[in-house]
């Protein structure tokens, strides 16, 4: 509850207040209730072990939802055959989750589920993620779910155990930061370009300690997939979470989904959700504004996600020893144009950009073109649902005809845990979220980009402005 109902509150304030089991004091953090706990194979096994060691049960298996995504192979395999895991350890980890889920009555969208997918694709797709909720997962990209007006953030494995045992977390209220993106972006500029521009502006630690609310005309104009892309990368500016006020776009996307409210409950929910937007005059600890019309397709030059520059730009001079180290690792020279750089691999996928609209944008560029000789291109849909939808639209045929590999869903080359990876020295143009050293394989060099820019890199073999490949009709 707000101490004074007339005090204007932000979206974040409203969700925060509604989940206070116990308010924080000077000595102790508050107890925050968690509506939805998403789990996956990598960050949960030690939490289940901790519970078992203390003889504790999972408090709310009905508020817990599991999938397998990080360690899972994306190669095809026949029904009845064992999945082609990259390592025995990966297989054991997935099997451990299968056992933990079954013995704790937690729904698991594992092999064979038509909803299996990258955890941050699956939750929204099922309608499990809803406005006004608190959502956590042992994964830093949990902020994705903030696209629905949920407060969603990543936690460590100890806290995964806390939520399993109590459905709560000990938390102090973070600061608030509103990022307003005014105006409309130009053609060929996607949600990914917008968020890379925001991160470049904030810096990799500009959001530390904060929950971001994204607002403004350019954000409101995004479809839900685009909003998820933006919120997904909040952590790349150091922020705990990113949120966008729910609106008609949100409600239309959610309506009819498997776990979304139905009938009268739906109408009641929409009425409630419509109250969540920040009140006029709501206070933020910090605010920044940007102009979408100034944003071009973005690519990163360095080994941190805040190194985005416009695709027509030049690699900047090193400002520090760390920058110089990044230039050396990336094999870039200060002052060189980034466009025209030779590409070895292209990865289209990840919890940032593996949804249907992402794949449509990539397919539009690849349609009728061929992946350049010597380039390996992987297209990895975010979920079984996305894969089926893409196939229904014939997008898979476009990718395959172009010479790209059409894979089964998973995190794949974003985190390179499952055998999909770049080789040492290879330059990978990737629609994922992190370009840290070795992220996509030891020595692999990652350039972050939008699906359209990644597709343009695939068909030209070079970092290329996707607008140069777009039909005039698209202008």
Residue ranges in contact with another protein by CB under 8 A: 18, 21-22, 26-29, 31, 33, 42-43, 45-46, 49-50, 54, 56, 59, 70-71, 87, 89-90, 92-93, 96, 138-140, 154-159, 161-162, 165-170, 172, 174, 204-205, 208-209, 235, 238, 240, 304, 320-322, 325, 415-417, 424, 434, 436-439, 442-443
> With respect to another protein, which residue has the nearer C-beta, 324 or 468?
324
Two structure tokens written together for 363: 């397919």
Shortest CB 75 distance to another protein, Å: 17
User: What distance in Å separates the CA atoms of residue 109 and residue 84, rounded to the nearest whole number?
Assistant: 18
Extended beta strands in 17-127, E state = 20-22, 30-33, 36-39, 64-67, 108-109
Shortest CB 147 distance to another protein, Å: 19
Q: In 3D, which of 369, 361, 340 has the Cα closest to residue 454?
A: 361
> With respect to another protein, which residue has the nearer C-beta, 53 or 475?
53
In angstroms, the Cα distances linking 405 to 273, 313, 398 are 41, 30, 11
> With respect to another protein, which residue has the nearer C-beta, 56 or 252?
56
Shortest CB 424 distance to another protein, Å: 7
Residue length, the chain? 475
Answer yes or no: is 351 a known binding residue. Answer: yes
User: What distance in Å separates the CA atoms of residue 306 and residue 447, rounded to the nearest whole number?
Assistant: 12
Shortest CB 29 distance to another protein, Å: 6
Answer yes or no: is 137 a known binding residue. Answer: no
Please tell me the number of Cα atoms within 13 Å of 361 on its side-chain side: 25
Shortest CB 265 distance to another protein, Å: 13
Lateral strand order in the sheet of 20-22: 20-22, 30-33, 168-171
> With respect to another protein, which residue has the nearer C-beta, 307 or 431?
307
User: What distance in Å separates the CA atoms of residue 340 and residue 41, rounded to the nearest whole number?
Assistant: 39
> With respect to another protein, which residue has the nearer C-beta, 96 or 360?
96
> With respect to another protein, which residue has the nearer C-beta, 13 or 420?
420
Provide the pairing of β-strand 30-33 with 20-22: antiparallel
Answer yes or no: is 411 a known binding residue. Answer: yes
User: What distance in Å separates the CA atoms of residue 191 and residue 352, rounded to the nearest whole number?
Assistant: 10
Shortest CB 135 distance to another protein, Å: 14
389 close to 358: Cβ distance less than 8 angstroms: no
CA 163 to chain centre: 22
Shortest CB 357 distance to another protein, Å: 26
146 close to 241: Cβ distance less than 8 angstroms: yes
Scanning the structure block, which residue is given the tokens 């950009």?
Answer: 353
210 close to 286: Cβ distance less than 8 angstroms: yes
Shortest CB 439 distance to another protein, Å: 5
> With respect to another protein, which residue has the nearer C-beta, 334 or 392?
334
> With respect to another protein, which residue has the nearer C-beta, 70 or 109?
70
β-pair partners for 37: 64, 136
Q: Binding site for [4Fe-4S] cluster, residues?
A: 351, 411, 414
List residues forming the annotated binding site.
351, 411, 414
């Amino acid at each position: 509850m707000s101490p004074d109902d007339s005090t204007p509150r932000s979206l974040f304030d409203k969700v925060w207040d509604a989940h206070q089991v116990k308010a924080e004091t000077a000595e102790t953090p508050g107890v925050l209730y968690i509506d939805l706990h998403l789990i996956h194979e990598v960050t949960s096994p030690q939490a289940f072990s901790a519970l078992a060691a203390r003889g504790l049960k999972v408090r709310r298996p009905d508020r817990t939802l599991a999938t397998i995504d990080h360690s899972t192979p994306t190669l095809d395999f026949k029904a009845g055959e064992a999945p082609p895991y990259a390592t025995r350890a990966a297989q054991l980890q997935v099997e451990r989750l299968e056992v933990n889920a079954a013995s704790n009555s937690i729904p698991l969208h594992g092999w064979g589920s038509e909803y299996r997918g990258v955890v941050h694709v699956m939750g929204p797709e099922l309608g499990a993620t809803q406005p006004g909720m608190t959502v956590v997962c042992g994964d830093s990209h949990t902020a994705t779910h903030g696209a629905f007006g949920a407060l969603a953030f990543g936690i460590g494995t100890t806290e995964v155990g806390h939520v399993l045992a109590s459905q709560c977390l000990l938390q102090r209220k973070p600061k608030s930061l509103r990022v307003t993106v005014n105006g409309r972006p130009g053609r060929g500029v996607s949600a990914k370009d917008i968020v890379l521009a925001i991160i470049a502006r904030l810096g990799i630690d500009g959001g530390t300690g904060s929950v971001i609310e994204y607002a403004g005309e350019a954000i409101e104009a995004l479809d839900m997939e685009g909003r998820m892309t933006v919120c997904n990368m909040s952590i790349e500016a150091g922020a705990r979470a990113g949120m966008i006020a729910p609106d008609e776009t949100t409600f239309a996307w959610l309506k009819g989904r498997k776990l979304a409210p139905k009938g009268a409950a739906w109408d009641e929910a929409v009425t409630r959700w419509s109250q969540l937007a920040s009140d006029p005059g709501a206070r933020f600890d910090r605010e920044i504004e940007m102009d979408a019309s100034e944003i071009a397709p973005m690519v990163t030059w360095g080994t941190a996600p805040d190194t985005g520059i416009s695709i027509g730009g030049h690699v900047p001079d090193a400002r520090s020893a760390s920058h110089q180290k990044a230039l050396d690792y990336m094999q870039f020279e200060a002052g060189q144009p980034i466009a025209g750089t030779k590409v070895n691999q292209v990865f289209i996928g990840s919890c940032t950009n593996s949804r249907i609209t992402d794949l449509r944008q990539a397919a539009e560029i690849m349609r009728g073109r061929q992946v350049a000789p010597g380039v390996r291109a992987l297209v990895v849909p975010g979920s079984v649902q996305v894969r089926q939808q893409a196939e229904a639209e014939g997008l898979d045929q476009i990718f395959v005809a172009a010479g790209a590999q059409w894979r089964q869903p998973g995190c794949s080359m974003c985190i390179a845990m499952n055998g999909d990876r770049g080789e040492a020295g290879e330059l990978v143009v990737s629609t994922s979220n992190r370009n840290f050293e070795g992220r996509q394989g030891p020595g692999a060099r990652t350039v972050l980009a939008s699906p359209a820019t990644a597709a343009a890199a695939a068909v030209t073999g070079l970092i290329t402005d996707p607008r140069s490949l777009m039909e005039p009709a698209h202008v």
